[in-house]
Structure 1
């Protein structure tokens, strides 16, 4: 074979008198360009060609068939380019062929062919079925004719997916079940509450409608608990009471509420974009989607952030759900054979998360940023090989430039990141197991640093460090906060006042007087002191009382209402058998009513900024915020206690408007105004998240003389 057009075994005088003319066009009658190849004649002689707006004309050919073979890589890239879109309205190339005057006035033949008809695919390179060799018109190129070849166009989509990682012990399905049970418990609780108020009214002189929460009995604060088997045999209740605890006591978080507002395509493609959302249940809770009590890993998942329901495993769960989405998407697209979707040209993620879920969102972003070597890319490429999806030839997992990137994080919406992952394995110490249970100093396998080149926009809403001051709830700052597209707010409120999960009466339609979900009882401090005789017993009691008062005074420095603390700490003395020794224990409690509405303010803040930055999210022209059937989103001044001239409802509207306009400077000024913190505190909108239970104690800052939680900067690679 020779590129000169000669062959030692042919008879030139009998053969080289023929020609062929070929025009390769797209569905819009536009030429392809920059693609080289050869025309192979019947003597297997190769004639170099290049696609352009000019026809391919080869003369002095032998008789018989010829073959056009284009170089695979440039041809596939050009055929799949966005400059050659699909045309579903008319046939301009066919019309062009009908009026085209061929070479030497010869016959003009029109055919619709595929990318695969004009090239030899390299090993491991595949094309969508619609574009494979032989899927178009059966055409054989013969000399002395003109051919107008229309190549089928590709239709790729941008797949944009919202990844929503819920917080520790937050589980939408368990919370929905819990709400159902609390709704059923209303009448039982109401009877207990009214009886309590009646007794207290006669004792104290307070009106039954004005009994301070601090005076209510513990029964009024207790969530429903299932009777044991023997007690249930002798009861004749209308319906069996189930125990409501753990994640079932929570309201839906801002993560779930934003997920519900994320636009999900119904199978239709709008301007080449297909959107969907994936919700991942909170750290330490199971992955079931049944409306039922969640399977909960209290110690390893919720306590340590590791294990089957830990931070890293929840990211793996999210990736598995994404792969399932890709498979389901292919099924949806195949339902429209007249306008098939060939694959995904770009993948965009909007990653949201709260608490350890925010850590999971950040770790997920790192998995994406690992590019072709990362877990996400490997899983998707596996689906490509199995024919469950297709990525164009130019798809590049590692590209970071915005206009060229094939896979990117378009928005990261984070609520108060608390990674708090126990680190059991040490690569630096002499022992493999170092059992580091200081959950705030190491993030284990979770990676929190976000690459500014891969993340287009990041917003981090963090809690005020004097209100959220728990020792084991250290904040993991967003890195690169000086970057124009990375922003971190410090907001008045406790951890779940930011990310959601606290109950609001607005969620209980037609039960305005149902206070149980918003009653808060916290053990501020428990103090013990041993004694050996009755003289040291008195000293022990005084010691306990003094210590409790010290902790109360420290607690009050935050700004809590003194009226919310029980008047006298509960002091108990326990003797040791027959001897005079024993120990004294004292407990200081706070009892109050706290509406869970503050997180709805920060929901509006995050929603507005997400909308401003182009996240496909909709509040139905703001109707969702006031729709009475959307109680999880509503805010009403009439439900709040200790109301002043400050309107919380109006402030919510103001913040939403500013956020939708992307007014970062104005928003920052609003939330830094000390008057706002005082107003919210006076309205009992801050929850007292710290307590004397395991892992929930406050962190005392000796140098500042107040409670303040620790926070940690984020280093690259960690």
Structure 2
């Protein structure tokens, strides 16, 4: 900020301003395809459907029926953390002096609250108006709104210091790291124009030189920037994330915490590590969303356990006559149900799953044929509760670093697993 202007501004209001306040603000970037507003809309629509005997509700516009959309996802760990962050608009005195607290939530890449998801290019490449960079710009706009509202809630106060906690999941973690680098640019960054606004009241001591802006806790859930561009032919697997600054230099924050997925397939989901500069990168069991959350609490999963095989058979032949079906059935006979399925899940089963080709061969000598594809499949009930472990870990570590949660002094009361009754048939 302009130190000279700050001094003049303070002198002009010194007769009425007597109290100096520290603002601690938490900025939370949700993951790709995660949006807490849309998750709530989807949940409300599903409840309405169930209340109306499964009939479609016009107001829902079918948004709740698309698997993988932001309307069908559950709340992520970012959405749960922001609800725990302390909100205190009017300055109060604690052991460290007068303070205010604000949480700021930014929806995930590829989503718009109440609007359609941007599969291209937001979710696919992390670009466009719902991409990683634009989400950072959105965060600064929200931060500006908060800082400009401060004088209204605290008419006799000025800002002495600004402390920022930044959290993110997936591409939201990339946004969190990019925002941190914008702060580190100081006068050349996106925060400077906000601080220069005459609607933001700063004390005469507020300056970059005095360290008035500090990064406190940066909490990351499985950073995957995956930025695609024309330069790399849309490749989201490489380390090239053009324009997105992910590097967090030593000492840039009080602490950087990074929880990463041990069991994620990284071929198309490359991890952006914070090592070796920040050693608190903790590997936890699970895939990407087992770390950051967003899976439904309970759902039926249908997966293939063997590689699909295909056979060309007469169009009138049953699937069971195809060689591929017989091979899959032979493999199924060697599998033990107890090795694959939880004994409490009485609705789960193994079976041969088949499908027929919708496109028949064009060659005349094959016109009476069809293609059968078969594999051993499994249907079972799965739960999204593993992500609660990562939430607990992040919450505890952040609280150790002074993260201001409404519930730091007591453990979070989350049930990790549902009752075994959930497995019983109705």
Match of 1:173 in 2: 37
1:258 aligns with 2:81: yes
Look up the SS of the partner of 1:128 in the other structure: helix
Work out which of the residue numbers 209, 212, 237 in structure 2 matches 1:406.
212
Matches within 5 A, 1:83-482: 124=5, 126-128=7-9, 131-132=11-12, 154-186=18-50, 226=56, 242-244=62-64, 245=66, 246-270=69-93, 271-286=97-112, 288=113, 292=114, 294-334=115-155, 340-342=156-158, 344-377=159-192, 379-383=193-197, 387-397=198-208, 404-425=210-231, 434-465=232-263, 468-469=264-265, 471-480=267-276
Look up the SS of the partner of 1:278 in the other structure: strand
Q: CA deviation at 1:447?
A: 1.5
How many residues end up aligned between the 2 structures? 401
Matches within 5 A, 1:576-655: 576=361, 579-580=365-366, 582-586=370-374, 589-619=377-407, 621-622=409-410, 625-626=412-413, 633-635=414-416, 638-639=419-420
Structure 2's unaligned 5+ residue stretches are: none
- Assess, with a 3 A threshold, how the Cα gap between structure 1 residues 605 and 487 changes in structure 2: closer, same or farther: same
Q: CA deviation at 1:184?
A: 2.6
Q: CA deviation at 1:353?
A: 0.8
Deviations 1:300-326 (A, max 9, x none): 111111111011110111011101111
Deviations 1:361-397 (A, max 9, x none): 11111111112111222x22441xxx11133444343
Look up the SS of the partner of 2:223 in the other structure: coil
Taking the aligned partners of 2:238 and 2:328, their CA distance within structure 1 comes to 27
Deviations 1:605-660 (A, max 9, x none): 1111111111111227538x44xxxxxx4445625879xxxxxxxxxxxxxxxxxx
Match of 1:567 in 2: 351
Taking the aligned partners of 2:80 and 2:212, their CA distance within structure 1 comes to 29
Contact 1:268 1:274 in 2 (8 A): yes
Taking the aligned partners of 2:206 and 2:89, their CA distance within structure 1 comes to 26
Contact 1:526 1:585 in 2 (8 A): no
Match of 1:518 in 2: 299
Contact 2:21 2:161 in 1 (8 A): yes
- Assess, with a 3 A threshold, how the Cα gap between structure 1 residues 479 and 391 changes in structure 2: closer, same or farther: farther
- Assess, with a 3 A threshold, how the Cα gap between structure 1 residues 619 and 394 changes in structure 2: closer, same or farther: closer
Deviations 1:264-306 (A, max 9, x none): 11313322221101000011001x3xxx4x4210121111111
Look up the SS of the partner of 1:267 in the other structure: strand
Contact 2:222 2:288 in 1 (8 A): yes
Relative to the length of structure 1, the TM-score reads 0.50
Q: CA deviation at 1:544?
A: 8.3
Q: CA deviation at 1:179?
A: 1.0
Contact 2:151 2:201 in 1 (8 A): no
Taking the aligned partners of 1:241 and 1:438, their CA distance within structure 2 comes to 32
Matches within 5 A, 1:537-552: 542=323
Q: CA deviation at 1:257?
A: 0.9
Taking the aligned partners of 1:322 and 1:529, their CA distance within structure 2 comes to 56
Deviations 1:520-570 (A, max 9, x none): 234678857585989xxx9x95468869999xx9xx9xx964996641131
Contact 1:423 1:439 in 2 (8 A): no
Q: Which has the higher contact order (CA 8 A, sep 6+)?
A: 2
Match of 1:9 in 2: none
Contact 1:411 1:457 in 2 (8 A): yes
Look up the SS of the partner of 1:409 in the other structure: strand
- Assess, with a 3 A threshold, how the Cα gap between structure 1 residues 240 and 480 changes in structure 2: closer, same or farther: closer
- Assess, with a 3 A threshold, how the Cα gap between structure 1 residues 607 and 530 changes in structure 2: closer, same or farther: same
- Assess, with a 3 A threshold, how the Cα gap between structure 1 residues 348 and 621 changes in structure 2: closer, same or farther: closer
Q: CA deviation at 1:165?
A: 0.3
Relative to the length of structure 2, the TM-score reads 0.81
User: What is the root-mean-square deviation in Å for CA atoms of aligned residues?
Assistant: 3.8
Taking the aligned partners of 2:421 and 2:121, their CA distance within structure 1 comes to 37
Deviations 1:114-159 (A, max 9, x none): xxxxxxxx7x565336x329x76xxxxxxxxxxxxxxx88532211
Taking the aligned partners of 2:421 and 2:260, their CA distance within structure 1 comes to 24
- Assess, with a 3 A threshold, how the Cα gap between structure 1 residues 295 and 524 changes in structure 2: closer, same or farther: farther
Taking the aligned partners of 2:243 and 2:296, their CA distance within structure 1 comes to 33
- Assess, with a 3 A threshold, how the Cα gap between structure 1 residues 125 and 327 changes in structure 2: closer, same or farther: closer
